[in-house]
Structure 1
Amino acid sequence: MWWEKASDSANLISFNEYPYLVYGRVSTEKDEQVSSLENQVDICRNWLERNNFEWNEKAIVIDNGISGTVLLARAAMQLILEKARKREIKMVLFKSIHRLARDMKDSLEIKEVLLAHGVRVVTIEEGYDSLYEGKNDMKFEMFSMFAAQYPKSLSVSISAVLAAKVRRGEHIGGKLPYGFRGKDKKMVIHEEEAEVIRYIYDLYNNFGYGFKKITNILNEGLRKGEVLGPQSKDKWQVTTVQRILRNPTYCGVFVLNRYTKIKVGGRKKQIENPPEKWVTFKDHHPKIISIEDWEKANNKEYTSNKTRITAWNEFRGISKCSECGSNMVIVQSYKKKKDGTRTEWKYLKCSAYRRSGEHACVNHTPIQYEDFREFVLKRLKRKGKKISVDFGSNFHDQKKAEIKHLEKEINIIEENRKELIDLYIEEKLITKAEFLVKRKEYEENILRMKDRMFVLQQDEEVKIDISNIQEAFQQLENTEEDLRHAFEILIEEINIHPEGNVDIKYTFEFKGK
């Protein structure tokens, strides 16, 4: 049988006879130190050679810098599954189940797809080989469970170590907040920056200034050389001031376990834990401001008891300032009349100017949001009437051109392969050895090109949501509805100039009628 071991080198199983793939994955630089790609490949190569398989460097597929808990982002693994479905491979080798996946559901799903298409699965460290295990899945499931539990156990262990370090007053890594420096694993006060922190709290608590007013004062002092700027930035911003006033680090408090990562739809997402899960350490490091000052800043009554609701912006992320490239955001305002009634409106403003004033950007001529929306709708409807949209080639022309080129190259090689058969069988112009070498070269080139085509197509499927442009144009007729989705499909970017001029860049290719 083809799986029986050979007694000498003459009976090596060649790659062409038994096509296999060797899968490797590392997720971080730290992971690279203990389980490098070279190490994984070397272990798999050793197994192949011991079992009398011919080694082939081209059989290696790699997911580099991608977590084993996130299947959707792993293009190399998706390629393996696709080749299994096409029955182009007979075996896949993994150094361990940890490399295959660290989510039990993903591990079992990958194994089922491979086995269902006749692919032999080997994980070397666990000694699992589907050829000999048969239908006994207990071994694989047990090791998959251990692999899935490993990152959770590791997380608990790391949390315990971090908590011990925090109890000793050590800084546990990451960027230190403004006003602090690291020394002998401890947080120490940077006095010049600390003076700015105290100044911010004084302006907020004792003068009653808001975030924007404080930001303007700091930037004016920065311009005159009287105030230090924030780390890694050339000016103060509203969000920076807000973070400083909300950060308990400045009163000597350190909060552990505030955030966690969860898996949503095959991808990781960071969320904030409920406060009852936070672990708070008081007097962890020197205070820049007193606890009383911090509590006063964070218990302050704001201008209104009502919750301010940010206006819905159908152009968020699409409309940009032409001067600095920042997003244009909605600012709400109102005017109260003598009779008690008030007129409300909302207009667009550069977010950088809104955060930091003239130190960041220029003030735009006010454009009311409703007027802007009506203007964009008219431009789009006019385009929809005047152009003929080529829906088959609107997106990712470069990738489609490469796919088309690959298809052409494959057809040429196929023709060459047919001519090669004629040269060998009919015209007898080449030897059998020459024929086999050239045929192998053609087949490898075809496989390589098909793999590249798959990766290009897979990349589009995973990362790009291509919506129907024609449908988006139709949605524009319902002007009373939320048209955010339609705007996203039809518009790549809108640049708004300070004087009110607007440039629109569309996502679609068109030809004039």
Structure 2
Amino acid sequence: MGHSVRCAIYARYSSSNQREASIEDQIRRCKQFASSRGWEVLEEHIYVDQAISGSSLDIREAFKRLLRIALSPDPPFQYILVDDTSRVARNTREALEIFHVLSFNDIGVYFVSQGIDTKTEIAEEIITMHGLMDALFLKELAAKTKRGMEGQVLKQFSAGGRRYGYRSVPVYNGKVDIYGLPIAEGYKLVIEPSEAQTVLRIFKMYGEEGLSARQIVNILNKELKEKGYPKPPRGKYWSVTTILGSPSQGTGILNNELYRGIYRWNRTSTKRNPVTGKVKRIKNPKEEWVETILPHLRIVPDDLWFKVKARQKEVASIARKNFAKAKSRYSSNLFTGLIQCGVCGGNIVVVQGGKKKKYGCSTYWNKGEIACNNSLKISKEILWKEIYRNLQIDLTSKDKAYILDKVNNMIREEYKKRNQSTQIEWIKKELAKTEKELKNIIEAIKAGIITETTKEVLVQTENRKKMLIEELNKTIKYKPKIPILTMQTLDNYLNNLPELLEKYSTIGREIIKICVGNITLYLFNNGQYKLEFTNKIELKEAA
């Protein structure tokens, strides 16, 4: 083919069992092959995915960029060089899909290690075979890893992973490697006293003192800010999720049975979506769990553990009872939690979506006639019309003047606080960060690190500090132009009350409650319905 063949290169390594130098090796082999053929490698078209699994295309950004260029109307190269088939895909379906789309665009792929050229007649059969082998390799690797971890757990070693309240220490059995260095047989967990103290404290605050997870988090984060400890298991700050987690999956500090000396492994496993490549965690059957009792790792006594479990159960029960009430506070549907069924007392909810939205009794639509016989579906328009008709508010000019004065005072305070204080706080943070950078640069210069780059960075940082100081002074002196509510705008709001209440549904629900009280929907055998407001009844034909 001669010098006319231009090539791109793709390389990838997985963080689980390969090293970063693998990338350099793959590129070198591809370049050596191109040179032996007299082909030209385009340096600007070398694509690398580092520490990325080959099990899915969706997570490999570099390869997706390469494909976009290869499938463009006028690609700059005719071949893509790859070290071996496993670098491109480790499942047969994906390998064949890539082969077909590239072949259609007359782009060849040459797998250097196996000597596979996708432009040959039997390329599809060879790729299928290697795709199966690569897929089997992944499955076998996963199975071997899992067997090895299970063996470690049965020996009372750690299966890996960071566990708050503990640290892992190597256990040696006298074996050494080829360099004479000791080989660890495994890693045992031991209690980390400072973290264990925090764990015990969290259990006591929740189980004995009755504090909520949010209150515990606020206390810990306040101490962290003031003293620098206790540090959270991950991230910069403590969070409610860190405390509560998921009881069913054993996540979260309050659900970790290791704190009572029970080490459970293989509670969950992962499934990968074959289309998106995303991983989903699922709970394994109990008979597949591996459990070991490790009393020396106990941090939380049983009586405190069961106090926490009892309180979690109580909190969950209250949450379920208050769900309907809580939903009305965050739902974007204006009528959520406002209307009750006159037959069973259940909530009137949306039972038919789309443009012609209709409402009905949730008890009937969820449980059937055995629980409620109110099968009425009433259109959204009729409900709105009747409710809004009862919301007519007649305000005198004196009332409107009072509202204008109150609202404009609120606007002034909020606008000033939001537009000035926030900006000043941000500038001060940036200024502190810049001063720290300056200090580091000066320390480097004192240590003898004086280069053109150091000088350039020093000048840039000093200029940024000067600019921030000027911006801070301007912001402090700045007097913002505050908008005010006019009488005309207020009248427009009042004339468009339905749209306004729906836009701000959370506040709108509260206004409706104040103006018309409770709303009940009754059904009659003749097809009529009755909307009852506090001290007001209207009889209408159902539609």
1:279 matched to 2:267? The reply is: no
The 1-side partners of 2:223 and 2:32 are apart by 66
| 8 Å Cα contact 1:81-1:113 kept in structure 2 | no
The TM-score normalised by the length of structure 2 is 0.49
Tell me the equivalent position of 1:290.
301
Query: Shift of residue 45 of structure 1?
Result: 1.8
With over 3 angstroms needed to count, the CA separation of the structure-2 counterparts of 1:477 and 1:58, relative to structure 1, is: same
In structure 2, distance between residues paired with 1:173 and 1:96:
31
Structure 1 unaligned blocks of 5 or more: 3-12, 316-332, 334-340, 342-374, 376-475, 484-513
**Equivalent residue runs for 1:224-373 within 5 Å:** 228=230, 230=232, 237-242=239-244, 243-257=252-266, 258-263=268-273, 265-274=275-284, 276=286, 279-284=289-294, 286-291=297-302, 293-300=304-311, 301-303=313-315, 304=317, 307=320, 309=323, 311=327, 313=330
Q: Which amino acid aligns with 2:54?
A: G
Q: Which has the larger radius of gyration?
A: 2
* Counterpart position of 2:49: 63
CA-CA distance at 1:302 after TM superposition: 0.8
Matched residues in 1 for 2:221 and 2:65: separation? Answer: 53
Aligned to 1:149: 136
Q: Matched residue of 2:119: which SS?
A: helix
Displacement after TM superposition at 1:90 (Å): 2.2
Q: CA deviation at 1:274?
A: 4.1
2:305 counterpart letter in structure 1: W
> How far is 1:128 from its partner?
1.7
Matches of 1:79 and 1:245, distance apart in 2: 44
- Equivalent residue for 2:367? none
| 2:98 matches 1:110 | yes
Which one of the candidate residues 103, 114, 121 is aligned to 1:126? 114
Gaps of 5+ in 2: 171-186, 245-251, 338-344, 346-406, 408-497, 506-543
CA distance in 2, matches of 1:221, 1:62: 44
1:450 alignment partner in structure 2: none
What is the deviation of 1:30? 4.5
1:124 corresponds to which letter in structure 2?
V
Deviation at 1:87, TM superposition (A): 5.0
1:430 alignment counterpart: none
Distance 1:175 1:160 in 2: 20
**Aligned counterpart, 1:41:** 27
Q: Conserved in 1, the CA contact under 8 Å of 2:7 and 2:80? A: yes
Alignment partners' CA distance in 1, 2:292 and 2:162: 20
Separation (CA, whole Å) in 1 of partners of 2:210 and 2:129: 62
1:191 correspondence with 2:202: no
User: Offset at 1:251?
Assistant: 1.1
CA distance 1:253–1:46, shift in 2 (3 Å): same
In structure 1, distance between residues paired with 2:17 and 2:279: 21
2:397 aligned residue = none
Could you tell me how far apart the structure 1 residues matched to 2:226 and 2:106 are?
Answer: 74
Distance 1:51 1:234 in 2: 54
TM-fit CA distance, 1:222: 7.7
Which residue pairs with 2:202 in the alignment? 200
C-alpha distance in 2 between matches for 1:100 and 1:228: 45
SS, match of residue 143 in structure 1:
helix
3-state SS of paired residue (2:134): helix
TM-score by length of 1: 0.51
Q: Equivalent residue for 1:328? A: none
SS of residue in 2 equivalent to 1:102: coil
Post-superposition offset of 1:192: 4.0
The answer on whether the counterparts of 1:253 and 1:280 sit within 8 Å (CA) in structure 2 is no
Query: In the aligned structure 2, how far is the partner of 1:122 from the partner of 1:270?
Result: 34
Q: Aligned to 2:90, what secondary structure does the other structure show?
A: coil
> Aligned equivalents of 2:310 and 2:147: distance in 1?
32
Aligned residue type for 1:94? V
Identity over the aligned pairs, expressed in percent?
25
Give SS of 1:121's match. Answer: strand
Deviation at 1:109, TM superposition (A): 0.6
| Contact 1:256–1:278 (8 Å) recurs in 2 | no
Q: Deviations 1:383-413 (Å, cap 9, x if unpaired)? A: xxxxxxxxxxxxxxxxxxxxxxxxxxxxxxx
The Cα shift of 1:265 comes to 3.9
- The equivalent of 2:89 in structure 1 is 101
> Structure 1 residue 246: deviation in Å?
1.4
The one-letter code of the counterpart of 1:260 is T
The letter of the residue matching 1:254 is Y
* d(CA) in 2 for partners of 1:135, 1:181: 55
Q: Counterpart of 2:60 in structure 1: which amino acid?
A: R
Structure 1 SS opposite 2:293: coil
Is the alpha carbon distance of 1:24 and 1:299 closer, same or farther for their aligned partners in structure 2, counting shifts above 3 Å?
same
Distance change >3 Å, CA 181–CA 108, structure 1 → 2:
same
